[in-house]
Structure 1
């Protein structure tokens, strides 16, 4: 990112009763970080702690054999059904609107219902017919703790090189205070004054 070693300007934790570290990491990665990246002067928001959520497709090899499908066909179906596609723009009232198709899966059921192939009668064969889909996490390469007692999830805001740090931090704090949509029991706790 377009920042310097001195660009790390604000650090905060994400806390919420009843949420796992994976839940908090997901909230930070997909909701809070996106909002903060829209703040003028913010170039990046890094995440530490928690587990990064991932969907795991566990294939049953005998099912592949029974349906006469390959593992490559499963990979291909998963990739095709989870792709973003740009398709140009349209003009209306002297404004340009970008058109794109987003096919991102958002649930276990979305993945289970992806068609991998068809049997001889033309009946679709779904991922759920070939194995199971479960929520898991990426391989961990680190963790963050609070006072050495329990795991926490930390966000680190990086400032655009050349921006005014005081102004960026004030805008970040204002944005964090405005976050009320992340859950009924969640709160953003600031680690920096």
Structure 2
């Protein structure tokens, strides 16, 4: 079969050159569109189910949340195994699928099963899916540099302005906020006063909930003019909460301020984010979506940051503390330099040892064509340009040249033998 291929190629040299030129052009295009990253993504094909039930111990979370979810998610198609982790107030279930499974198909199957499994959980507990990212999806970390600004204000700007803007960038799965304080109204109840007035904590909670509500009215017409009636019932200040009545005793209302203290504070935190030992900061983590081009996503995020920064208060700016694009550029640049050096050295060695320019060119021309063609296969299998893949290509240059040398030497030997048979007098 190999002889037939060689014979066919020799009879159709123009067609072979045309195919080689086409592969080279296709390869150059593949190089331009190939995804770029510093390291290969070797993480498992997983879907994370996160459930929050604050105030409960890890054992209760395990028995009433994690165990029912794990047992119900084990029967999904193409699942390798299911792992569960319980901690104070939170449950994590990791559903690991086969490597060839489409991640979004897997997320749909998990959602379908959660619709049934949610009925087995305690009231008010709602499991949610984690972001469609991978273990190496954290591509950029940033903080908000705002000297003199309260950490609560910084976190509010991050949660209600920066986060929503950056999530619109193509390829971003999630913007995870960290640091600072999440503002909240905190009502600290005095148990002695509750006992004195004959109230319970649940009555206080129900009173606050009932008064933190906005109800719609109706439309009515008067003098050919239409009016829409509505009520503004959302609580907007500490004073409004303090004036909420809980109970009436002898026509005298018992208000929140009579039994509790109201203050604006931050949500209870399990840790802090400190930068370089200089104090706490607030910021976010950019999580890349599964299968995206890390280098391109980082560039788009930085471009979006420039637009977002225009709406910051005076003196606030972004401070990038981790940027994978630096590692990507240095890694790819190093491998590119190595590839060019190898191609030059191999070409010189081939020319020196063969001492025949036509044979040398036929071998050297295979190097760029083969390298360009390899990127066609990288794109076909969804492999990015990273340290591992490009190093493998660099190591294969020697194999490419070896095959070319063997074929050239074999062809030269057979041609010499054939020439000596046809011209015996010249041999003598």
Normalised to the residue count of structure 2, the TM-score between the two structures is 0.36
Larger Rg belongs to? 2
Kindly tell me: are residues 78 and 155 of structure 1, through their superposed partners in 2, closer, same or farther at Cα, counting changes over 3 Å?
same
Aligned residues: 177
Are 1:184 and 2:314 an aligned pair? yes
Kindly tell me: are residues 158 and 83 of structure 1, through their superposed partners in 2, closer, same or farther at Cα, counting changes over 3 Å?
farther
Q: Which runs of 5+ in 2 are unaligned?
A: 1-130, 216-231, 327-428
Secondary structure, counterpart of 1:58 in structure 2? strand
Q: Is the 8 A contact 1:81 1:105 kept in 2?
A: yes
Alpha-carbon offset, residue 130 of structure 1:
2.5
Kindly tell me: are residues 138 and 65 of structure 1, through their superposed partners in 2, closer, same or farther at Cα, counting changes over 3 Å?
same
Q: Is the 8 A contact 1:56 1:134 kept in 2?
A: yes
Kindly tell me: are residues 120 and 168 of structure 1, through their superposed partners in 2, closer, same or farther at Cα, counting changes over 3 Å?
farther
Q: Is the 8 A contact 1:22 1:51 kept in 2?
A: yes
Secondary structure, counterpart of 2:290 in structure 1? coil
Q: Give the alignment partner of residue 71 of structure 1, picking from 201, 205, 223.
A: 201
- Aligned positions of 1:75-94 closer than 5 A: 75-81=205-211
1:12 aligns with 142
Q: Distance between the aligned counterparts of 2:206 and 2:313, measured in 1? A: 36
Are 1:143 and 2:256 an aligned pair? no
Kindly tell me: are residues 29 and 104 of structure 1, through their superposed partners in 2, closer, same or farther at Cα, counting changes over 3 Å?
farther
Secondary structure, counterpart of 1:140 in structure 2? coil
Secondary structure, counterpart of 2:296 in structure 1? helix
Are 1:159 and 2:277 an aligned pair? no
Secondary structure, counterpart of 1:47 in structure 2? strand
Q: Which runs of 5+ in 1 are unaligned?
A: 86-101
Q: Give the alignment partner of residue 42 of structure 1, picking from 172, 185, 206.
A: 172
Q: Is the 8 A contact 1:59 1:130 kept in 2?
A: yes
Q: Distance between the aligned counterparts of 2:235 and 2:160, measured in 1? A: 14
Secondary structure, counterpart of 2:149 in structure 1? coil
Are 1:22 and 2:22 an aligned pair? no
Q: Distance between the aligned counterparts of 2:156 and 2:193, measured in 1? A: 33
Alpha-carbon offset, residue 34 of structure 1:
2.4
1 or 2, which has the higher strand percentage?
1
Deviations 1:97-144, CA, capped at 9 Å, x for gaps: xxxxx97655434433444344443x6543233322112223332222
Secondary structure, counterpart of 2:161 in structure 1? helix
Kindly tell me: are residues 81 and 34 of structure 1, through their superposed partners in 2, closer, same or farther at Cα, counting changes over 3 Å?
farther
Higher relative contact order (CA 8 A, sep 6+): 1
Q: Distance between the aligned counterparts of 1:80 and 1:43, measured in 2? A: 36
Kindly tell me: are residues 155 and 105 of structure 1, through their superposed partners in 2, closer, same or farther at Cα, counting changes over 3 Å?
farther
